Structure 1
């Protein structure tokens, strides 16, 4: 096939994407969980046997690497509804894994596994393997992804832009990947550094309106850079067919409850931002020049809550913990008004106690000098959380 023909072939039906409205502030969550060998706690390429037990489930899916299972929630009116559904699913998946000689756990990276990943043999993933080369086999990371429903395309683009200022905060609150291939990386979220090497991850552009976004999207298709919207892996992206804004920057969380806390925060923040879309918001982060945004995210991945972030174009800075305190105080009333106070208050307490996963993992390692023990604790955290849910 000639190059021009190959490029024309990439322009698919969704080159004229239409935005499908959703009920405002509905929520959905996707969890990427690690499949482990029960004996040695290394990652294992177990998605094939696992999926044979769920041949038609819309909620249990493969990811591009075979050591991952993605568990997808129903759309919920609030986070509590999503939690109930995911708890049932993850309990069932965990029991199935045990019968197959696997364990289940969650974190942004596996603390000590050194094997390259195998791609799942599905057409899209095989195309990704061809495009990514070695990078794809080394991209062994796990995420929590949260979808927020919006009514129209303009709101989706506004939220995608407004959320950018909160990416460093979300990175710090979710950081759960301090270890990589047996080493303490010195980062709270080393997952961010792994993804930084890849082609389509990172901070999204901003768009003036839907036509501006469509012009950009169609240009990517004509250039053969993407085939569909699924090939764009920004930290925040619009999902037109679902009518959502998807926040993808967070590490996978060791427990379902922690994932729900993050989802609840995002939902509350979305409610606040949509209510103030026409006003200037004091004491809240704002979009900055791209290079500063990029460095803020780097520092958040490096130092977590202890990082300093630039907060204006003059170079003034605050710690992420200070930013968190200002943000949570400003938006807390919205947590009550949309029924999210339970998870939101849990998150406030956990941050105050410095009980973020990267901190707990380091505490375990400092006490035991064992990455294997870190994984054992991650397994137990998920098991105990499911038992309480």
Structure 2
């Protein structure tokens, strides 16, 4: 039996992954072990599977104001620790030019992941931002998971921050999605009728020795009974705290919107559940073309501009957003006008002709915000 620990109220949490880079070469550095020793006073600064990555996580927050107040000093402490060790922090979904295979972090869990992943484990060098939505029950977590699935392409496009890979412009907005697609447990989750059905699935996977813990599932949306949350994992790592907080704001307002419009068969609810292959296509094209993608929106093959979906969704959410969430929604509206992360990265490269400058500017952006 998998126990779901209810969240006391509609709490929100944030996990941000950052690249550890050399401030001179702008290449990745396998620096997590000395950084953990340097920042041992902050338990929320954690390792990830590969040693060129650091994660900083929040505790559950009651609102966006509290979440920002928790995360800003933690990121500042992380920047301070990197400075002392001669490293810098960069927020983006892939490193633009590093070719070296990654080095797995020590520990039994990571050793097991490395054995299971084989070659992929050392070459899927990607970085993400995760938002945790506190919910009252496992049933509600699965319901919200089903309702959020049609919005995965929108989240991919708005967060897309991985146009470059191993020195090339991939012509994708979110190439991180394509790198992770090679692994078995990434992508949109299946639907479950109820929490019992989810428990049966997990029990079957454990019996088959294909799953040890829930964290071995890397779905874009993942129930976390131990936290009492639905974890939204589809977003690329973001350049700044403000960019990440915008997704926390979007997801909180969107969850309220979906909850309050469940009874509606028409009207302002823009996206509805689709046949799984249509959703798969939508996610691919969102990763390829970003906000310029076209989405399948019904079983007749009707298409709708993802940019239009984004604008309509943000307008609909205004009435459901709390006061401190509106700033995040406004940032997303502004980003829609040519300032999405993948567009910003390409502009830096077009202006300077240097992928090293892309990394350098992103590091400076984060430092100016939180340093």
TM-score by length of 1: 0.93
Runs of 4+ in structure 1 over 4 Å off: none
Matches of 2:223 and 2:168, distance apart in 1? 35
SS at match of 1:241: coil
> Match for residue 189 of structure 1?
174
Which consecutive unaligned segments of at least 5 residues does structure 2 have? none
> Match for residue 123 of structure 2?
138
Match of 1:293 among 260, 279, 282: 279
**Shift of residue 281 of structure 1?**
5.0
SS at match of 1:253: coil
> Match for residue 315 of structure 1?
301
Match of 1:32 among 6, 10, 17: 17
Matches within 5 A, 1:326-365: 326-336=312-322, 339-351=324-336, 353-365=337-349
Q: 1:54 to 1:23 in 2, by over 3 A?
A: same
Q: 1:385 to 1:309 in 2, by over 3 A?
A: same
Match of 2:96 among 97, 105, 111: 111
Contact 2:31 2:51 in 1 (8 A): yes
> Match for residue 357 of structure 2?
373
Aligned residues: 370
SS at match of 1:164: helix
Residues 33-84 of structure 1 deviation map (CA, whole Å, 9 limit, x = unaligned): 0101122111010000001123363311000000000000121111221112
SS at match of 1:340: helix
SS at match of 1:238: strand
**Shift of residue 98 of structure 1?**
1.1
> Match for residue 12 of structure 1?
none
**Shift of residue 236 of structure 1?**
0.3
Matches of 1:335 and 1:144, distance apart in 2? 21
Contact 2:9 2:62 in 1 (8 A): no
**Shift of residue 276 of structure 1?**
2.4
Matches of 2:8 and 2:339, distance apart in 1? 34
SS at match of 1:245: strand
Contact 1:72 1:86 in 2 (8 A): yes
**Shift of residue 24 of structure 1?**
3.4
> Match for residue 7 of structure 1?
none
Matches within 5 A, 1:1-389: 16-55=1-40, 57-282=42-267, 283-336=269-322, 339-351=324-336, 353-386=337-370
Contact 2:39 2:81 in 1 (8 A): no
Contact 1:165 1:287 in 2 (8 A): yes
Matches of 1:339 and 1:188, distance apart in 2? 29
Contact 1:144 1:259 in 2 (8 A): yes
Matches of 2:344 and 2:324, distance apart in 1? 29
Residues 221-276 of structure 1 deviation map (CA, whole Å, 9 limit, x = unaligned): 00011101110110001000111000000000001101001111011101111222
SS at match of 2:321: helix
